[in-house]
Amino acid sequence: MVPQDLRFAETHEWAKIEGDVCTVGITSFAVEQLTDVVFVDLKPKVGDTLKAGTAFGEIESVKAVSDLYAPVDGTVTEVNKALAVDPSLVSAEPYGKGWLLKVKVAAGAGANLKSPADYESQIATQGH
């Protein structure tokens, strides 16, 4: 069961929208697919504009590199610096300490994202 207070992108990013603050991360499904995370490359700086659907960084595992895609439009207010020191936080706590960005968003942000139930259906068919 994915956390029920989040919204999800098809590309396995999650968005937690609380007023005009949106926290962004990747799901436990994504983390389980990757295993062995060695590096998280978050390109935005505080103040940068984020456009939904565009890549904002990379997550690298022993076997492969995957792009990270912005689930919402907004302005970056915080980048998780802890991941530069310990990228394994993403694997250990994908919904907690492994968050990636905090973004200032407008009203209605994330409306086009999937509900927990829809995302769960998606990953049930993807499987592994």
Partner 1 sequence: MGLRTPLYDWHVAHGGRMVDFAGWDMPVQYTTIVEEHQSVRTGAGLFDISHMGRLSFRGPGSLDLIQHVYTNNAATLQEGQVRYGLVCNDRGGIRDDVLVYRWPTEYGMVVNASNREKIVAWLYGSMAGRDVRLADRTLDTAMIAVQGPAAIAMCQDITAFDPAKLSNYYAATTTYRGEPAVISRTGYTGEDGVEIVVDKTQGPTLWDEFIARGAKACGLGARDTLRLEAAMPLYGHELNEETDPLQAGLGWAVKFDKGEFRGKAAILERMNTPRRERVGLALAGKRIAREGSAVKRGAKVIGVVTSGTFSPTLNKTIAMAFVDPEEREIGVPLTVDVRGKDEAAEVVKLPFYKRGK
Chain residues that interact with partner 1, rule: CB under 8 A: 35-36, 38-39, 41, 58, 60, 62-63, 65, 87, 128
Residue 110: DSSP 8-state: T
CB of 58 to partner 1, least distance (A): 8
Please, are residues 52 and 10 in contact by the beta-carbon 8 Å criterion?
no
Asked if residues 48 and 111 have their Cβ atoms less than 8 Å apart, the reply is no
CB of 38 to partner 1, least distance (A): 5
The SS3 call for residue 34 is helix
Instruction: CB nearer to partner 1: give 65 or 82.
Output: 65
Residues near 124 by beta carbon (within 8 Å), at least 6 away in sequence? none
The distance of closest approach from Cβ of residue 7 to partner 1 in the complex, given in angstroms and rounded to an integer, is: 29
* 33: enclosing H helix or E strand: helix 28-34
Cβ closest to partner 1, residue 8 vs residue 29: 29
Q: How far is the CB of 36 from partner 1 (least distance, A)?
A: 5
- Given the complex with partner 1, which of 43 and 51 has the nearer CB atom? 43
Q: Which is nearer to partner 1, 60 or 120 (CB)?
A: 60
Question: What is the C-alpha to C-alpha distance for residues 100 and 96, in angstroms, rounded to an integer?
Answer: 10
